[in-house]
Chains A and B, each alone.
Chain A
Amino acid sequence: MTDEFPHLGKGHVPVLRLGDVLLVTLQGDLHDSTAEQLQQDIGETIARTRATGVVIDISGVEVVDSFLGRVLAEIAAQARLLAARTVVAGMRPAVAITLVELGLTLPGLRTALSTEEAMQLLARPGPDPRPGGTRPGSA
């Protein structure tokens, strides 16, 4: 792996559009300002494209601290105000264990094990699925 150095400079995370869904893939270690820039980019892209869903793939992210966790939660909250649903996909088990111990359980954040599952979740019509797990009959 060419993982010798963190990606220096203000990185930029592309926001891809797949039909009504925006797909964002986070990789490696993120600079704080890159995460904040992404939050702004997603908001603007939702407004411009009328996207109804956002999938954030974090399978390539090794560390989610309270800063990045808060940015993810704020992206979801902001998307909700713009009438879009957000699903965070592919969180690594070690990251999930760490977040629980950190005390950051992100109750408002919808998650899926993979990007495909996130897409399926968003393809279902209806209201924002219950955070923390969909249950039949709970809608």
Chain B
Amino acid sequence: MRTAEGVEACLPIRSDMDLMWVRQHVRQAAARLGFGLVDRTKLVTAASELARNTLVHGGGGQMESARVTRGHLQGLRLAFSDRGPGIPDVDRTLSDGYTTGDGLGLGLGGARRLVHEFAIDSRPGAGTTVTVVSWALRPPHPREEM
């Protein structure tokens, strides 16, 4: 039985290089939990968008990664948090094309479409935490040969 080993982690998000480590971690954790190729690609892409927001808009922070279970399902929960300026109008921020920077404004709305569960907790002046969960929609690993 596969466990949370190598899945639970807390990674800093302080530089461009950290974005690569975040993607690498999420790719490997999702593979361990039995995510298929497409779901894994979606989750890593969402993580890349959210981690970049933590870095660029939040002034840096961290990603916490944990295994979650529901019945027989296994999933990966990723929480991106920072102590940056916060998001004053979350609804508007989620709409495609909205940006206060020089990005494309697709990151937040796009990440929401790429995962199964998505929540933003943001307080102006205190910071932002975006938490996402995706489920591996097949058995975590092929049955061992007897």
What is A's interface to B at a CB cutoff of 8 Å?
Answer: 5-6, 8, 29, 31-33, 62-67, 69-70, 92-95, 97-98, 101-104
Which single residue of chain A is at the shortest CB-CB distance from B97? A103
What is B's interface to A at a CB cutoff of 8 Å?
Answer: 16-17, 19-21, 23-24, 27, 37-38, 40-42, 44-45, 48-49, 52, 96, 103-104, 106-107, 109-111, 113-114
Would B49 and A66 count as touching, CB distance under 8 A?
A: yes
**Bound Cα distance from A29 to B114, whole angstroms:** 19
Total A-B contacts with CB atoms under 8 angstroms apart = 78
- The residues of B that contact A94 with a CB separation of less than 8 Å are 37-38, 40-42
Q: List 22 A-B contacts (CB under 8 A).
A: A6-B23, A32-B16, A32-B19, A62-B41, A63-B23, A65-B48, A65-B52, A66-B107, A69-B104, A70-B103, A93-B38, A94-B37, A94-B41, A98-B38, A98-B42, A101-B42, A101-B113, A102-B111, A102-B114, A103-B96, A103-B109, A104-B110
Decide if the interface of chain B is mainly helix, strand, loop or mixed: helix
- The residues of A that contact B45 with a CB separation of less than 8 Å are 63-65, 98, 102
Would A66 and B20 count as touching, CB distance under 8 A?
A: no
Would A98 and B114 count as touching, CB distance under 8 A?
A: yes
- The residues of B that contact A92 with a CB separation of less than 8 Å are 41
